[in-house]
Structure 1
Amino acid sequence: MDLPLYSLAERDRRWDLARELMDAENVDALVVYGGRDNSGPGEWAPDVFFTNDRPGAIVVFPRADEPLALVRSPAHIGDHLKASACGDAVWIRPENVLVAKHAEGVAEVLHAHGLTRSAVGVLGLEPWPPFHADPLMPYTLWASVLQQLPQLTFKSLDAGFVTRALVQSAEELAVIGHAAAMGEAMAGAMLRAVRPGVSEASVYAAGMAESMRRGAGAPGMSIASGKELVSCGPPAWSYRPQAPRVIEDGDLVLAEISCSYGMRETRQRVAIAVGDIHPELESAAKTARASYEAGLAVLRAGHTFGQVVAAMKQPLQETGGWYAHPLVHAVNPCGPVCGSGARLGLLPETARYGLLAEQPTIGSDLPLSRGMTFVLAPTCAYGRRLAGLGGTVVVGEDAPIELNTITTHLMRSN
């Protein structure tokens, strides 16, 4: 199988993007916090954006030089050595890989490049919705850097990075397309596994096994099943000691799956009807499809993210439905996200909770550009019966490009 790969031209494009960002913000370097080691799909991995290497580094990128990767342990060096020996696309020279992922390492690298009195841009000081409500840069780490370099000034550049990185190159779109194909295969395996008497864990295992068999990077899944669903999150048996639920005739199996390849991510929302489901679930799925189509109609260059959100809300507002999850959000990287949780408070049982607040829409003013990727995955609920569907879509030249097909409709088990 011919797999899409990144060339040195893609490396140079990304490094040029960083330098353009530094020029625009009048800073002399970037400090990029890449989160924890093996951070999973591309929810937060800007270090990999610049290194094309194992996640979990702090990247220091002087404007006048090449980026340096500060890694946690010698194991990263071993991975880098192996990649070089195998002829993999290694972007960071060995001289620029340091086992120094700590405040002292950041300070020493900035000092070595004469940047102790400079303005430095930082990625990692802002929230990264919808998956990270708080900044990922540890307070103690950054506070220690500033203590060691008291004449350093810094500026958070997360928003500027997101705006620039959202527009995918041709090479990135090929990688994203491959990730979407793995997501399709994952959903197909789940569909084949669903039948009465099978547990949620078996369906989960079928999807995850298929994605891993195809080489997906850190696939993920939320899953729920039943005749009444008000949400879909990590399976309860993954965090609470209890047996996985056994699927019954008349159930709806609802899942959100993610696949990544080359740290480019796609997401799909799966809905599988097991036999005849309740009419309200059928109606919810129909409205979710209408919301998906409304989003497609507006997902055009020149429109804003807020216009897509407004269009996708309309079918739910017209039918009295509510939604528990964001109808749409950006991906590669994440950032702009539709608000969620509207009208959940109409359920009488929610009156007992201490505080129920709707999450607001973030990034409404973002202008859409060709090559941006979004997850259109609307849910609709009538009372306690919720259904959803959708997949990953690219803003195209004249029309949006749907990367998924089977998950954008209600599926039915045989």
Structure 2
Amino acid sequence: MLNRRRFLSAFAAAAAFPWLSSAARAQESAHESSTTSLPPALAALKNRRHEATPITSAEREQRFEHARELMGKEGIDAVVMIGGTSLVYFTGIRWWNSERLFVCVIPRKGAPFYVSPAFEEDRAREQIRSAPGGAEARVYTWQEDENPYVLVTRGLNDLGLTSGKIGIEERVTFVFSDGIHKAAPGFEIVSAIPITAGCRAVKSSAELKLMQLANDITLSVYEAAWKSIHPGITNAQVSEWIGAAYGLVGFPGDASCQVDEYSALPHGSIQPQMLKEGSIVLIDDGCNVDGYESDISRTFTIGKPTDKMKQVFDMVHRAQAAALAAAKPGVACGSVDAAARKVIDDAGFGPNYAHFTHRVGHGIGMDGHEWPYLVRGNPQLLQAGMCFSDEPGIYIHGEFGVRLEDDIHITEDGAKLFTPQSPSLEEPFANA
């Protein structure tokens, strides 16, 4: 999937470097074969695919039952999903979305059913057979000149439903949800977020193991990249190294690399950047291990940091620790953001979003960003098994920025980091 950082990295890598000297351009050209000539620290990374244990069919069956329990509580009679993360979560089916309607409908009672283009039926059934309820699932097919939306109503009618609430998964496109609404006038269309997020937000032990592996891998790749970085290379080259290193360990991943004044832009810039002695460098993003994401940021310097850089790093480090300490079951999501923000405000980098310009964290799991969010005013209470990024930052426009990001999971008595905090700008992986 093309996320925001992958987009920026690709854009930057494709951009010309008209401001670089001819010598620098020659050096950049010499690095273009990085995927086959990685620096030693990166080339030494080993394939770790064997460490990942996939989610079982039995666990997906449990997810179906949990979804139905939540549907009962919310008064929702069926949930509609198109291709995407939630469909994979519940069924294991991977489907590319086009303008043609393909949906899975999970009813509160009865077997799931599917609506598929007729010419895709064989391909659909191939995956449906392995999904929960696949043996009993009906597949309603439509030809190119037919209205597919009436088949959603027909499937519900065949289950004895002529009215009620249809929950639409949040990534369903408007044209599909509108088509279903028009074809099912006896039903109320509502959001399925209480069901999908209600299931996905709390991770199982199997999910936590995959996320732990994703975080371990990301940190090992980052450390190898840090050992390889030197003045005279570009930020695009660092991103290419990291992408190639993920290929070596056996899982897809990437990273944004932002340098000096561009590190003050939380999601970076497409401008080409050169790393120099004394530069501050921010790398961010992660990898995907059997469908589960990591999201880690590290900020460090090439050589000796300035006193101001060290002061800012110390405040961000304290803010990250404060958020970790505040996160525990029964605490409101917004309180975790407040704990980190107070440290930064008290240090003179406030008020509000003056220099800490974003929330302290987002839910993470099968999507890099998912429900719930650690943001001001969010009253949702934390539960054991929820996972988040913990990523405070201080950004000084035109100078530099510092962000420290590790992922955490909520336990019965607090919160735990998947990866250790970064101790300093000069030794960012000393505790790893």
> TM-score range with shorter-chain normalisation?
0.7 to 0.9
Where do residues 27-106 of structure 1 align in structure 2 (5 Å cutoff)? Answer: 27-35=76-84, 45-56=85-96, 58-70=103-115, 78=123, 81=126, 91=132, 93=134, 104-106=147-149
Specify whether residues 391 and 121 from structure 1 end up closer, same or farther in structure 2 by C-alpha distance, changes over 3 A only: farther
Specify whether residues 368 and 390 from structure 1 end up closer, same or farther in structure 2 by C-alpha distance, changes over 3 A only: same
CA RMSD, Structure 1 to Structure 2 (Å)? 3.2
C-alpha distance in structure 2 between counterparts of 1:159 and 1:73, whole Å: 32
Indicate yes or no: 2:386 matched with 1:372. yes
C-alpha distance in structure 1 between counterparts of 2:428 and 2:412, whole Å: 36
Indicate yes or no: 2:151 matched with 1:108. yes
Corresponding position of 1:347: none
Indicate yes or no: 2:196 matched with 1:161. yes
Contact 2:260 2:280 in 1 (8 A): yes
3-state SS of the aligned residue for 1:400? strand
- TM-score relative to the length of structure 1: 0.77
3-state SS of the aligned residue for 1:256? strand
Corresponding position of 1:241: none
Which of these residues, 418, 421, 425, is aligned with residue 403 of structure 1?
Answer: 418
Corresponding position of 2:250: 215
Amino acid aligned to 2:382 = L
Indicate yes or no: 2:332 matched with 1:304. yes
Corresponding position of 1:257: 285
C-alpha distance in structure 1 between counterparts of 2:152 and 2:113, whole Å: 8
Contact 2:149 2:183 in 1 (8 A): no
Which of these residues, 350, 356, 360, is aligned with residue 323 of structure 1?
Answer: 356
Where do residues 118-267 of structure 1 align in structure 2 (5 Å cutoff)? Answer: 118-125=163-170, 136-217=171-252, 219-227=253-261, 229-233=263-267, 235-236=269-270, 244-267=272-295
Alpha-carbon distance, 1:335 to partner: 2.5
C-alpha distance in structure 2 between counterparts of 1:235 and 1:190, whole Å: 20
Contact 1:391 1:408 in 2 (8 A): no
C-alpha distance in structure 2 between counterparts of 1:196 and 1:80, whole Å: 54
Specify whether residues 70 and 259 from structure 1 end up closer, same or farther in structure 2 by C-alpha distance, changes over 3 A only: farther
C-alpha distance in structure 1 between counterparts of 2:128 and 2:113, whole Å: 17
Contact 1:284 1:381 in 2 (8 A): no
C-alpha distance in structure 1 between counterparts of 2:117 and 2:254, whole Å: 25
Indicate yes or no: 2:60 matched with 1:11. yes
Alpha-carbon distance, 1:254 to partner: 0.8
Contact 2:305 2:425 in 1 (8 A): no
Alpha-carbon distance, 1:392 to partner: 0.6
Specify whether residues 107 and 285 from structure 1 end up closer, same or farther in structure 2 by C-alpha distance, changes over 3 A only: farther
Structure whose CA Rg is larger: 2
Amino acid aligned to 2:360 = L
Specify whether residues 256 and 73 from structure 1 end up closer, same or farther in structure 2 by C-alpha distance, changes over 3 A only: farther
Alpha-carbon distance, 1:165 to partner: 2.3
Specify whether residues 112 and 98 from structure 1 end up closer, same or farther in structure 2 by C-alpha distance, changes over 3 A only: closer
Which of these residues, 386, 409, 429, is aligned with residue 394 of structure 1?
Answer: 409
3-state SS of the aligned residue for 2:373? coil
Specify whether residues 97 and 226 from structure 1 end up closer, same or farther in structure 2 by C-alpha distance, changes over 3 A only: farther
Amino acid aligned to 2:270 = A
Alpha-carbon distance, 1:15 to partner: 0.3
C-alpha distance in structure 2 between counterparts of 1:314 and 1:97, whole Å: 54
Alpha-carbon distance, 1:23 to partner: 0.9
Contact 2:218 2:294 in 1 (8 A): yes
Alpha-carbon distance, 1:78 to partner: 4.9
C-alpha distance in structure 1 between counterparts of 2:215 and 2:117, whole Å: 31
Q: Deviations for 1:31-89, whole angstroms, at most 9, x for unmatched residues? A: 12445xxxxxxxxx2111111232546321122233345567978965974998xxxx7
Alpha-carbon distance, 1:229 to partner: 3.5
Corresponding position of 1:346: none
Amino acid aligned to 2:75 = N
| Unpaired segments ≥5 residues, structure 1 | 36-44, 126-135, 238-243, 340-360
C-alpha distance in structure 2 between counterparts of 1:386 and 1:76, whole Å: 51
C-alpha distance in structure 2 between counterparts of 1:13 and 1:189, whole Å: 39
Contact 2:287 2:294 in 1 (8 A): yes
Contact 1:124 1:158 in 2 (8 A): yes
| Unpaired segments ≥5 residues, structure 2 | 1-49, 97-101, 350-354
Contact 2:81 2:169 in 1 (8 A): yes
3-state SS of the aligned residue for 1:370? coil
Indicate yes or no: 2:373 matched with 1:337. yes
Percent of aligned pairs sharing the same letter: 19
Amino acid aligned to 1:394 = H
Corresponding position of 1:279: 307
C-alpha distance in structure 1 between counterparts of 2:175 and 2:197, whole Å: 25
Corresponding position of 1:132: none
Specify whether residues 200 and 158 from structure 1 end up closer, same or farther in structure 2 by C-alpha distance, changes over 3 A only: same
Alpha-carbon distance, 1:20 to partner: 0.9
Alpha-carbon distance, 1:168 to partner: 0.8
C-alpha distance in structure 2 between counterparts of 1:83 and 1:141, whole Å: 21
- TM-score relative to the length of structure 2: 0.74
Specify whether residues 413 and 107 from structure 1 end up closer, same or farther in structure 2 by C-alpha distance, changes over 3 A only: same
C-alpha distance in structure 2 between counterparts of 1:311 and 1:277, whole Å: 27
C-alpha distance in structure 2 between counterparts of 1:148 and 1:110, whole Å: 7
Amino acid aligned to 2:342 = Q
Alpha-carbon distance, 1:196 to partner: 0.5
Alpha-carbon distance, 1:223 to partner: 2.7
Contact 1:120 1:152 in 2 (8 A): yes
